[in-house]
């Protein structure tokens, strides 16, 4: 089947092989006589799916043994509350505000922490660059520091996570890696907790991944709901309440797909990183040499996953989108808060899809020069 290229920021494209396998197993998973959505989450069939998905994710991201992998619900927005409910200890928390999502996180945390300190912000630049870690104003004794390591809307990405110890802070680093999880390796020596919604690089909406260091468990505020207490979730192997079984199943299929990816001698996430670098370079190189399009993000912190761009003549926006749709290039309209266009080129987007978009953009530019 010749499918369009879907550039949606999320819910986003899922690898075709994963969708085909899920479709083939929809009515009968491995001869069980049940589809995955019909299974008891405590039955042996689903437990096998869950255990394999957890093991594959741990392998793919090289998650150390001292971290727990939790399969939760509520997406990144819910984690904006769940993280401070578990980690703030009703004390001071630091935030680095680099775009729309970290703004939301910062606002939500004020409901639970006694003080929320904005250690740094990129707002003065219109969130087109990242504040230098050397300039961050870190709190003494902060319970944690939160940052969004890839901003889906504004298109900035931390290509290297900050070393808080080198900056004089003992606070654990919390990262929202929703929109670039599994697109590159993670330096777990610098991370205390990472969370992300599945609906960009992992699977369908409804599943949230939390990877948390064991020493951060067991400190939830008294008001924290039991189902959101990380220790309770960890102690019950993510089965304290009924988990998002279908989301875990499709995520597991995606992890198997990721493990099978190859780029030269590289496999898995390392292979995907090389592929993602090539996709992003193809797109940015074209835009930077264009007279019609512009990307406003500083070159050193441009996202490999989410690329906002603008037509210099915005009166042509509707014509651009209409022409793109005719060519099977979908979901390119930018977020309403920033306007313009946005191409999200997650793991499931092949290089051929980015090339098709660049070819169309070049054709449109020549036509409207």
Question: Which sequence positions are flagged as catalytic?
Answer: 101, 176, 200
Alpha-carbon dihedral sign for residues 273, 278, 281, 286: negative
Tokens of residue 147, six digits:
């940052």
CA pair distance 212, 228, nearest whole angstrom: 13
**333: which residues sit within 8 A by CB, 6+ positions away?**
321, 341, 342
CA pair distance 338, 308, nearest whole angstrom: 9
CA pair distance 14, 275, nearest whole angstrom: 16
The helix (H) or strand (E) run that includes residue 147 is strand 145-148
Tokens of residue 93, six digits:
């928390």
CA pair distance 248, 178, nearest whole angstrom: 16
Alpha helices (H) in 67-190, listed in sequence order: 75-87, 100-109
**143: which residues sit within 8 A by CB, 6+ positions away?**
87, 88, 89, 91, 92, 93, 113, 171
């Amino acid at each position: 089947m010749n499918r369009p290229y879907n550039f949606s920021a999320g819910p986003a494209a899922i690898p075709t092989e994963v969708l085909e396998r899920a479709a083939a197993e929809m009515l009968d998973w491995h001869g069980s006589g049940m589809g995955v959505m019909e299974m008891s989450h405590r039955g042996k069939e689903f437990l096998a799916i869950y255990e394999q998905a957890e093991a594959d994710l741990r392998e793919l991201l090289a998650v150390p043994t001292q971290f727990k992998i939790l399969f939760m619900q509520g997406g990144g927005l819910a984690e904006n509350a769940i993280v401070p409910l578990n980690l703030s200890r009703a004390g001071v928390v630091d935030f680095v505000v680099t775009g729309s999502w970290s703004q939301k996180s910062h606002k939500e945390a004020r409901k639970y922490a006694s003080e929320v300190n904005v250690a740094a912000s990129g707002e003065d630049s219109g969130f087109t660059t990242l504040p230098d870690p050397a300039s961050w104003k870190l709190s003494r004794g902060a319970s944690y520091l939160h940052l969004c390591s890839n901003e889906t809307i504004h298109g900035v990405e931390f290509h290297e996570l900050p070393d808080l110890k080198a900056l004089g802070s003992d606070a654990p680093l919390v990262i929202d890696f929703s929109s670039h999880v599994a697109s590159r390796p993670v330096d777990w020596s610098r991370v205390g907790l990472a969370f992300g919604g599945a609906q960009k690089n992992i699977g369908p909406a409804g599943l949230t991944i939390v990877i948390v260091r064991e020493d951060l468990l067991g400190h939830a505020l008294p008001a924290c709901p039991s189902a959101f207490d990380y220790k309770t979730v960890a102690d019950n192997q993510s089965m304290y309440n009924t988990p998002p079984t279908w989301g875990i199943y499709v995520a597991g299929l995606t992890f198997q797909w990721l493990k099978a990816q190859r780029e030269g001698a590289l496999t898995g996430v390392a292979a995907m990183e090389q592929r993602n670098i090539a996709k992003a370079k193809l797109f940015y190189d074209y835009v930077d040499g264009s007279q019609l399009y512009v990307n406003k993000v500083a070159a050193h912190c441009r996202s490999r996953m989410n690329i906002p761009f603008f037509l210099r003549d915005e009166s042509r926006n509707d014509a651009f989108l209409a022409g793109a749709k005719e060519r099977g290039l979908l979901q390119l309209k930018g977020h309403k808060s920033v306007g313009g266009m946005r191409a999200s080129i997650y793991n499931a987007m092949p290089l051929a899809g980015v090339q098709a978009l660049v070819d169309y953009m070049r054709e449109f530019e020549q036509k409207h020069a």
